[in-house]
Amino acid sequence: MRAEPVALSQQGSVVALAVDIPRIPDGGLPLDVEVGAEELRLPQAAEVTFPIPVRILGRLTRVAEQVYFQGAISGTMSAPCSRCVESAAHDFEVETQVMFLPPSAADPHEDAEAVGLEDESDIYVHDGMKLDLAPPVYDQVVLAFPVQPLCRPDCAGLCQICGGNLNEASCACRTESGDPRFTLLKNLSFSKPL
């Protein structure tokens, strides 16, 4: 059973991830926003979809000209199972901390070290008035892509001979003896003349 993904383009609500920096108060600006994959310009191939909006929950803090975002990015992506190719939902939640530097920052790497950020990839640049949370959110979501999506940890995959989904039913091929590769060759040469 698979749920039909919500058509993100039909949701109608556009939530800008651009934040006016002067509007960030001294105590920080709490954020709790949901954005569709299209607004994030996520790579939506036909086989990878985001059935629900991506949620960004956290806080922006301004220190002089630097702005920090600390929080969590969560959502669900749906991708074909790497064994049986059935659609597999994958929930993700990443804790993240990124820094936005002013355009005048001379050496982003040095600034990152100064505040204890080890990874230069967590550094973005704002334009002095606005910052855009979309790039870091995009980067975090792409990093959350599973390398080998599985519909379930013990997915039995497809039969290498008949292509049947072994999660649904075992097929006759499994009871045959011998190396399945030879059975495949045999089937090809006798039952499917070229």
Q: Rule CB under 5 A: which of 54-113 touch Zn ion?
A: 81, 83-84
Classify burial at 41, counting beta carbons within 10 Å of its beta carbon; exposed 0-12, middle 13-18, buried 19 or more: exposed
Select the residue interacting with Zn ion from 37, 98, 133, 155 (CB under 5 A).
155
Tokens 């609500």, residue?
13
Considering the complex, what minimum distance in angstroms separates the CB of residue 137 from Zn ion? 28
Considering the complex, what minimum distance in angstroms separates the CB of residue 165 from Zn ion? 8
Considering the complex, what minimum distance in angstroms separates the CB of residue 183 from Zn ion? 9
**Binding region for Zn ion (CB under 5 A) out of 4-12, 111-119, 136-144, 164-172:** 164-172
Select the residue interacting with Zn ion from 19, 37, 101, 151 (CB under 5 A).
151
Query: By C-beta, is 109 or 186 nearer to Zn ion?
Result: 186
